[in-house]
Each structure stands twice: as structure tokens, then as C-alpha cells.
Amino acid sequence: MAGGMKFSFAAALLIALVAAEAAVIHAQGRGNNNNRGHNNGNRGNSGNRKKRVDEAAVTQYTMLTAVAGTKQERAFCRAKGRCFYRTLTCPEECPKRKPKNRKQKACFIDCSSTCQATCKRRVANCNGYGSLCYDPRLVGGDGVMFYFHGSKGKDFAILSDDNLQINAHLIGTRPTGRTRDFTWVQALALMFDSHTLTVAAKTVPHWNTNLDALLFRWDGEDLEVPRDGEAEWRMKTEEREVVVERTDETNSVRVTVTGLLEMDVNVRPIGEEENRVHSYRLPANDSFAHLETQFKFYGLTDSVDGILGKTYRPGFVSPVKRGVAMPIMGGEDKYQTKSLYSPFCKLCRFNRRPSVQSATTAMEPGLAQF
């Protein structure tokens, strides 16, 4: 009898353990289904929380002195987790985080669960995820390339989410006989919390790579990004830190808004050969300087919208026609805003504080001077 009871107890325990393991596997399976797609911040609630913690940990470090006898920079990680209190050293092939020569790779220190220092180029990759270049050609968060034409002189919501909106101002031209404008992005307005950061290309009659064609504004006031020392501008707000850092002597920057985004921006003109090949027929007194940009977003909601933003939704299926030379993403009427600084469009989600709306509206007429 005792032996039978022991057997029954052991069998019951075994069944309970198997059932518990099955429940764990089932729960993990559901979690994996929530994490489909690209690493773009659009996950289930628990996944979002974990990812936001990991994203915040990326730059939580203190710089140490370089390795003796070398230029290799080191960082002491302060983020709790796998990398807590560890020291990361930049590789020999990219010893510095901020090399002045844009052709050189930079050291990227990551104190998140990745916990490593790697070499990366700090320049917009127009074929990479989250890119916005050319006559606007975009690569979405789903990896699908598409074009969005818009109209010259108009403004459109590139991304609109609960706590972030990015609008783009288009410049362009329409040669005689064409049915649409050739357009390029001249300016971007980043709206978040109670602030607005503007990055724009100045109007340049004749292009000179030695002259800086970038223009910046913070909450309606012009700002200067220094070219010496750290070559960066920093602002700490109530909720986050904003950094504009030069990645070349002229015309290239990296913008970081902690917890929201990182973007690489480059200014370039339309060259004579490009003008000829594409039959733009641009006037001789305008180089049509414009922005090439690549975004990396953090903490987007599952309902994010915008021309580029919607491609970061979980399960998004692109409607553009594949296999054609210029797959077009429509939506001009859904995403057009009244100005570069307006958070309103038919599908926009972002709500800006009234005090900021009045401050940015006052500087709206200035776009032509860029």
C-alpha cells in the first residue's frame, strides 16, 4: 500500500511538472508571435517594456582614459543588466567614437544586453531601413523600398505617433510637359514633448563642399553646432537629452533624441550629370541642396502612422507594387499638413501643447530663407 502511494505521488508530481513546462512553452510561443518582424520597437506590452529598458541602456556609460599607448577609447557601463560595471574597449580599426573623417568608421559603444563595442559608419545609408533620400525614395521598417512624390512647397507627416511627429518640407520643380513635380526633402521638423528641432538645407545657388549648408533651429531659435572640440550641441530637457553632433567638417550630422530616435543626416546637391540624366532641367542659380536621412526609432507604438511610420507597425503589409522601377506609396491627402510645424493631418496621432504650437507657427514663414 505504501509503495502504491509513493508511486501515485511520483506520477502526480511528474504530470504536474510536464503540465507546467507545457504552459511555459505555450506562453513563450505566444511571446514569439508578438515579436515578429524587424527590430523596430513594435512589440507586445511586456516586449516593449523590456526593449525600452534595453534601448535606454545603450548609452549609459562613463568614458575612461584610452588604452595606454593607443587611441582606443574605453567606456565603463553603468546600465544594470548583462553589461553592468563592465568596461568596453573600441576596436583597433575604429578606436574613436567620433572620428572627424566621415570616411572612417566610428566606434559604437553598446551597454545594453548586446554589451559590445563595434565599428559603424555614421552616415545615412540610403538603401537601409528607415532611409529617406533622393526624389523622395524611402525604405520602410518592413524593408520595402517605395517612392512618395508629394508636391513642391508642401509639407507631409513622415511619422506620427503618440509622443513624436516628424514633418518634411519638399522643394521641387516641374519642367514643361510633366504631369508631376520632381521633389526633394529640404527640411525636417522633429516635434516631441514640448519641443521642436528643425534640420534644414539652406538654399545654395552654387554648391561648394567646403561650405556648410545645414541650418538648425531649437524651439524657433537658430542654433549653432560648433565645429571644434566635441563638435556637438546638447540640450537636456525635462524628459530627455537632445544631441546634434557633426560627423564631418561640413554637411553631415547625427541627431539623437534619447528614447525616441537617432538619425543621420547629410546635405547634397543635384549635380550637373544627375540633372542631365534625369532631365530635371533645374535653373542654373539653384543647386537644389536637400537632405539624405536615415532614421532609427525607439519605443514606437503599434499604432504609429505617417508615410514612413506606418511601415513600422507589426504585421504591416506594403500596398506598393513590387517588381516595378518606381513603386509608389500614395497618401498625399492623408499625410499633408498645413505647415512644417503643424501636427495635424487626416491620420496624424501626435498632440502638441498649445504653447509650442503658437511658438512654432510664428517662425513658419522662414522656410524660403533656408
**Structure-block grid coordinates of residue 76:** 565603463
For residue 359, pLDDT over 50 is answered with no
Sequence-distant (6+) residues with CB within 8 A of 2 are none
pTM, full prediction:
0.77
State the chain's mean pLDDT as an integer. 83
pLDDT of res. 33: 34
Rounded distance, CA 366 to CA 364, Å? 5
Rounded distance, CA 147 to CA 155, Å? 16
Specify the DSSP class assigned to residue 305.
Answer: B
Q: What is the pLDDT of residues 117-126, one digit of tens each?
A: 999 888 899 9
Sequence-distant (6+) residues with CB within 8 A of 123 are 102, 247, 252, 264, 266
Rounded distance, CA 364 to CA 359, Å? 9
CB atoms within 10 A of CB 157: 30
pLDDT level of residue 175 (50, 70, 90 thresholds): confident
Q: What is the residue type of 312? A: Y
